[in-house]
Amino acid sequence: MDIPWLNPFAFKIGPIGVHWYGIFMVMAILGGAYYLIERGKQLGEDPDYLSNVTLWTVLWGVIGARLVFVLANEPQWIWNDPSQIVRIWDGGLAYDGAIGLGVLALWYQLRQKPLEFNYLVDWTVPGIALGIFMVRIGNIFNHEVLGRMTELGFGRWPEQLIGSSIGIFLLVRYFWIERYRTPPPGYQFWSAMFYYALLRGFIGETTRDNPLYVWHYLNPYWGIGFTTLMQLFTPAILIFTGLMMRRTWRKSATRLIPLDTALDSPKP
């Protein structure tokens, strides 16, 4: 969607402008952090400890999101305009980088508590899904992440809404599984990442107006194209997350540890 009359700024205080994109991103972070900390209390941890873990996870997630965006889209900033790299309020975050570096930060902090990590990483899914949904709405206000033009009568693909719908799907799926199933620790996260890569790689990236690499296919009538940079990495991501999903189920088949049992176990 490209709506020219939308203002990227929610309001201004003197020369400082507050972007809608930044507001939506902060709302998603706060919502996800609140859920993670509240669920994390079930592990018997101190809320201050959980808040500290969440803070560093979010911080490294934002760093990873910006670094991957810059490397994939604007690498010339590194030597031409380094100050542009930190201007995240102007938009430009790669969710793949946020998830990757954020999860690594969470694992590093909980490397001595593998069971606790598996529970907490599952509880990051609502925040990740909320972030996908809200940041894509912010992209509309920033006039970015546009879909390809088509000849189907509606002009451009509403790429931001397609991306937001993926976030809604992940959020609904998470709470449906929480309500009707008892998945092993870690399954919720890895399965969410599998479906995110699948939906984004084969739907979102197909209609998104991104450069094409290696094998080029572009259909101007339908407004679809292959292969974008994300699509090149999609098969590897699907294989890895699929194997991790299978690993969690195989481990649970021999020894599934319910949450209440984990709470009774002595902490390392």
Q: Detail the residues annotated as belonging to a binding site.
A: 136
User: Which residues lie below 8 Å from residue 62, measured CB to CB, with a gap of 6+?
Assistant: 88, 93, 98
**Angstrom distances, CA of residue 184 to CA of 38, 62, 106:** 19, 28, 19
Helices and strands (DSSP H and E) totals, the chain: 11, 4
3-class DSSP state of 16: strand
What is the token pair recorded at 182? 């008892």
CB 203 within 8 A of CB 157: no
Report how far apart, in Å, the C-alpha atoms of 153 and of each of 101, 156, 161, 203, 222 are.
41, 9, 18, 19, 10
